[in-house]
Amino acid sequence: MISGLHLVTDERLARDRLLAVVGAAVTAGTAVVQVRAKHATARELTETVAVVSAVVSGRALVLVNDRVDVALAARHGGARVDGVHLGQEDLDPVAARALLGPDATVGWTAHAPDHLRAAHALAPGTVDYLGVGLIRPTTSKPDGPAVLGVEGFGAFARAAALPCIAIGGVRLEDVPGVMAAGAAGVAVVSAVSEAADPGQTAARFVAAIAGAR
């Protein structure tokens, strides 16, 4: 289930800290863990996905950011990997769906009108959800797209035929607004990863999402 809280991992964290954050967030009710490491090698990322999957232990979906090859490699090694989240410059979602199978979860980043048109042109079932943002400027993705804000997100979500996950600098106080604007959930990086108590912070996000539905 893709609705709810999505935790996107922060590659700036040491391995032990990353796994502690993931474990605490999943225990708190996080629905999706997206493993993202833009600067890791394929082998390094495959190893990270495997250990994250072991910590999650089936309690949430595990997605790999950008790398279909890594998702397949981790699966081949025995890890439970539920799918991928793809950017606009990554492998075509049609190819990703063919490689990962009909039961995989495939997300796609979208933040511009042409992205929405491309998503609507896909056959049903190719993509499961859209990651839409930025809601606020974010230090985890300083080269990201222009800030949409809650209002811009809402306009995008209303025009989309797929569930939309709000991403990009989302704060706890933003949750009621983005959910009212049509979000199926929110994705966070530093809001949980940099928190003094990641589990408690994740639980607050989970409760806020549930309360706004």
Asked if residue 142 has pLDDT above 70, the reply is: no
- What's the confidence (pLDDT) of residue 179? 98
Condensed to tens digits (0 to 9), the pLDDT of residues 128-141 reads 999 999 999 876 66
Residues β-bridged to residue 6: 32, 187
The answer to whether 126 is annotated as binding is: no
The answer to whether 58 is annotated as binding is: no
Q: How far apart are CA 120 and CA 192, in angstroms?
A: 32
The answer to whether 141 is annotated as binding is: yes
Q: What pTM does this model have?
A: 0.96
The answer to whether 200 is annotated as binding is: no
Helix, strand, or coil (residue 85) = strand
Condensed to tens digits (0 to 9), the pLDDT of residues 13-26 reads 999 999 999 999 99
Element at 131 (helix H, strand E): strand 129-132
Residues 92 and 127 sit within 8 Å (Cβ to Cβ): no
Residues 82 and 104 sit within 8 Å (Cβ to Cβ): yes
| Torsion angles phi and psi, residue 16, rounded to 5 | -60, -45
| Torsion angles phi and psi, residue 64, rounded to 5 | -105, 130
Asked if residue 207 has pLDDT above 80, the reply is: yes
Tokens of 2: 């893709």
The answer to whether 10 is annotated as binding is: no
Question: How many independent structural domains does the chain possess?
Answer: 1
Q: How far apart are CA 174 and CA 204, in angstroms?
A: 12
Q: What is the DSSP secondary structure assignment for residue 157, as one 8-state letter?
A: H
Band (144; pLDDT cuts 50, 70, 90): low
Peptide bond into 134 cis (omega under 30): yes
Condensed to tens digits (0 to 9), the pLDDT of residues 69-105 reads 999 999 999 999 999 999 999 999 999 999 999 999 9
- Domain span including residue 70: 4-212
Q: How far apart are CA 171 and CA 123, in angstroms?
A: 34
Q: Which residue type is seen at 190?
A: S
The answer to whether 138 is annotated as binding is: yes
- What's the confidence (pLDDT) of residue 163? 98
What CATH number does the domain containing 43 carry?
3.20.20.70
The answer to whether 43 is annotated as binding is: no
Asked if residue 143 has pLDDT above 70, the reply is: no
The answer to whether 53 is annotated as binding is: no
The answer to whether 9 is annotated as binding is: no
The answer to whether 54 is annotated as binding is: no
- What's the confidence (pLDDT) of residue 141? 62
